[in-house]
Amino acid sequence: MLDLILEILCLFFNVIQWSLISLSKYILPYSMLPKKDLHKQKVLITGAGSGLGKLLTRKFADRGAVLILWDVNLKSVDELKDEIRGNGGEAHSYEVNLCDPRRIAEVGQQVLRDIGKVDILINNAGVATAKMIMDTTERDIDVSFGVNVKSHFFTVQQFLPPMLEENHGHIVTIASAAGKMGSAGLADYTSSKHAAVGFHDSLVAEVMASGKDGIKTTLVCPYYVHTSMFDATGATTRFPSIFPILDTDYVVQKIFEAIETEQEYLVTPSGLYFVFPGVQILPYKAQKAIGEFFGLIQSLDRFHK
């Protein structure tokens, strides 16, 4: 009986300890948090040619990181590579169709041979078709799941083993608030982002089971962001001070800070930290009522086909 009591006390202490450490990264100012040294760290970003990926690339370049840029549009990452090199940085660009596992493996091995172990892997690329379920084609589903989640399996398979060998690395999953709540007309996107969140949770469990505490992970779930995929021009919620449509530069800065401070979970805007746990235990009609009350549901016309 005494052993059980001691075990429970130990469990309680550990839960409080790790919760306080995690909480400190949410409440303390960024300037007060310890930060990893990014100089010469090899950072691979998928979907680096546009949107969040492009802006993240510039952030890491400013800190002296070595950038490895993947995109289906080679011209876009070639131009970004030249920009970084023109500013005295180091960057490498590759054309990768993330729906092609063989291409991911081929380029992944090329990166490991030519550049070496990847220190930070950012699975950023994402697509959405914005169609109702009955209008969604097999190809729509294949592309959404191929880019938004299946590619995560294949990139991690390439770059996690060297991280485990050295007990050093960081894997970032750019998911979405849609990975926590469903939305009408976005079934391919929301279901693939739910899958990405599930993949990330499983990845974390496997890394912890390996005992390699030098491998860090970060899950990012932003709300609507004005990007090439979503046109936020004029969009708003009922209470924008609590649930704003997000500015791209703001989101990129928060993602960068989360990676630099090794924050495990980033949701933005922060009001969603309180919405997700409460809403997900409610009946569907109650969830819909809350979404409509706060004006969280946006028109599908804003998604670029």
Closest residue by Cα to residue 178 from 195, 157, 194: 194
Lookup result for tokens 């990012």: 220
Q: Is residue 224 annotated as part of the catalytic site, yes or no?
A: no
DSSP string for 148-172: IIIHHHHHHHHHHHHHHHHT-EEEE
The pair of three-digit structure tokens given for residue 118, joined into one six-digit string: 């990847």
Beta strands in 29-127 (DSSP E): 42-46, 66-71, 90-95, 120-123
Question: Which position among 94, 189, 223, 224 bears the catalytic label?
Answer: 189
Contact (Cβ atoms closer than 8 angstroms) between residue 99 and residue 151: yes
Q: Is 5 buried (19+), middle (13-18) or exposed (0-12) by CB count in 10 A? A: exposed
DSSP string for 96-121: --TT-HHHHHHHHHHHHHHT---SEE
DSSP for residue 82: H
In whole angstroms, what is the distance from residue 72 CA to residue 48 CA?
9
Alpha helix (H) residue ranges in the chain: 2-27, 51-62, 74-86, 101-114, 138-145, 151-166, 187-210, 248-260, 272-279, 284-294
Q: 10 Å Cβ neighbour count for 292?
A: 11
> What is the set of active-site residues?
189
